């Protein structure tokens, strides 16, 4: 058993379980993943990357697979409809990775039309033999992330997960929606519990976990080995630490943004705390970018919109953002906005 995976835990009785930052295309670049770890995420995964492009050594795709020595474990996620390309890409990634994760959950038409992502759940035999082929070709653990099923027939995640366990998948993650649902409706945690009960490998529950309350509800319902958080962490990677505090797994005074603000923190109102938290996260994101990938305008702009969302004055600052002459000026203007009038003494 891999040190990075562990065994299936017993029923959840309130003890800490790992929190995963969900792989999110266009969101989880390397500096954001490293930031999420500093905020309390236990495991991070790259955004999904096309295995055919990787197997043909496309530079743009390989850039998405960049990691850093502090990203432990390093888990690249790949997708594709061609079993051979999937196995080749996994083999190429394996020497530098701790785990290879396979995407069987993406509902985007550009992915499902090549019968990859969640579309493969409609072809369980192909999905299972693809995973079997990859497990045979790499000597590191292989994990898979999927949905409940396609939604055009009965859910089949239980059947698929049982078969994947048999062919050697070491951990499974289930997003409690179907392909057809995309992101509509509610995640079905009761079905995820059925998957947890059907296999002996750890299962990670995913879908609609956004705070400590929903995290506790999801763990109480599923008894999953861990939780994966996606949309709730966009612009708010601090969510991981906040969730751990709310669950009684961590003390508020140990959170890095609380430490950075010392005793002033406990005098702040909720808006002041939001500004202070997001400023710490933003400055750290920029610092981590400089240390790893370099500041990249496209990524920074996306994160700037997400980090400022919902704060008073955010719309105004966004209109000013584009006037900044250099990426460094842009980064600085966001940092200054996040000082927040209410936070300034
Ligand atoms: C913008 C965005 C990009 C995503 N990209 C990926 C991806 O690259 N790989 C993947 O497995 N899932 C991807 N997902 C799905 C998430 O990993 C997760 O399964 C889904 O958002 C449900 O979790 P949540 O309710 O916590 O957001 C993406 C979701 C979003 C919103």
Backbone angles phi, psi at 63, to 5 degrees: -65, -30
At 37 the three-state DSSP class reads helix
Query: Closest ligand 1 atom to the C-alpha of 210?
Result: 26
Question: Would you give the end-to-end CA distance of the chain in angstroms?
Answer: 53
SS3 state at 99: coil
Q: How far apart are CA 65 and CA 205, in angstroms?
A: 24
Q: Is 107 in the pocket of ligand 1 (CB under 6 A)?
A: no
Point out which residues pair with 229 in neighbouring strands: 21
CA of 176 from ligand 1 middle (Å) equals 12
Cα–Cα distances (Å) from 87 to 30, 52, 280, in that order, read 24, 10, 40
Alpha carbon distance 229, 85 (integer Å): 29
Render each residue's pLDDT in the chain as its tens digit; 345 residues.
688 999 999 999 999 999 999 999 999 999 999 999 999 999 999 999 999 999 999 999 999 999 999 999 999 999 999 999 999 999 999 999 999 999 999 999 999 988 889 999 999 999 999 999 999 999 999 999 999 999 999 999 999 999 999 999 999 999 999 999 999 999 999 999 999 999 999 999 999 999 999 999 999 999 999 999 999 999 999 999 999 999 999 999 999 999 999 889 999 999 999 999 999 999 999 999 999 999 998 999 999 999 999 998 888 777 777 788 898 999 999 999 998 764 444
Q: Is the CB of 230 under 6 A from ligand 1?
A: yes
24 CB near ligand 1 (under 6 Å): yes
Is 106 noted as a catalytic residue in this protein? yes
**Domain extent listing, the chain:** 19-250, 253-337
Q: Quick one: which H or E segment has residue 226?
A: strand 226-229
The superfamily CATH assigns to domain 19-250 is Aldolase class I (3.20.20.70)
Check pocket membership of 333 for ligand 1, CB cut-off 6 A.
no
DSSP conformational letter for 148: S
Count each helix (H run) and each strand (E run) in the chain, helices first: 15, 8
Centre a 10 Å sphere on the Cβ of residue 294 and count the other Cβ atoms it contains: 9
CA distance 196 to 37: 26
**What Rg value do the Cα atoms of the chain yield, rounded?**
20
């Amino acid at each position: 058993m891999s040190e990075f995976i562990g065994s299936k835990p017993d029923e959840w009785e309130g003890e800490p379980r790992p929190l995963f930052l969900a792989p999110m295309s266009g969101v989880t670049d390397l500096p954001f993943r490293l930031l999420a770890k500093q905020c309390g995420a236990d495991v991070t995964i790259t955004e999904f990357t096309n295995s055919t492009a990787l197997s043909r050594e496309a530079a743009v795709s390989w850039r998405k697979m960049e990691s850093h020595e502090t990203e432990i474990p390093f888990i690249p996620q790949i997708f594709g409809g061609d079993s051979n390309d999937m196995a080749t890409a996994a083999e190429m990634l394996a020497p530098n990775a701790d785990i290879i994760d396979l995407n069987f959950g993406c509902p985007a038409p550009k992915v499902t039309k090549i019968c990859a992502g969640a579309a493969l759940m409609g072809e369980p035999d192909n999905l299972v033999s693809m995973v079997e082929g990859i497990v045979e070709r790499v000597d590191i653990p292989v994990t898979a992330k999927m949905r409940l099923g396609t939604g055009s027939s009965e859910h089949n995640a239980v059947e698929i997960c049982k078969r994947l366990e048999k062919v050697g998948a070491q951990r499974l993650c289930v997003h409690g929606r179907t392909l057809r649902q995309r992101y509509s409706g509610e995640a079905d945690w009761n079905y995820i519990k059925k998957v947890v009960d059907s296999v002996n490998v750890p299962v990670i529950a995913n879908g609609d976990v956004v705070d400590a309350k929903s995290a506790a509800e999801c763990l109480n319902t599923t008894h999953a080995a861990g939780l994966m958080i996606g949309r709730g962490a966009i612009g708010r990677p601090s969510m991981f630490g906040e969730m751990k505090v709310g669950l009684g797994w961590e003390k508020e005074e140990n959170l890095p943004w609380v430490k950075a603000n010392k005793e002033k923190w406990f005098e702040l109102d909720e808006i002041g705390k939001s500004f202070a938290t997001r400023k710490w996260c933003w400055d750290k994101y920029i610092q981590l970018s400089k240390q790893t990938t370099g500041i990249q305008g496209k990524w920074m702009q996306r994160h700037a919109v997400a980090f400022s969302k919902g704060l008073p004055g955010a719309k105004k600052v966004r209109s000013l953002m584009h006037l900044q002459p250099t990426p460094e000026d842009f980064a600085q203007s966001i940092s200054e906005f996040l000082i927040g009038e209410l936070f300034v003494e």
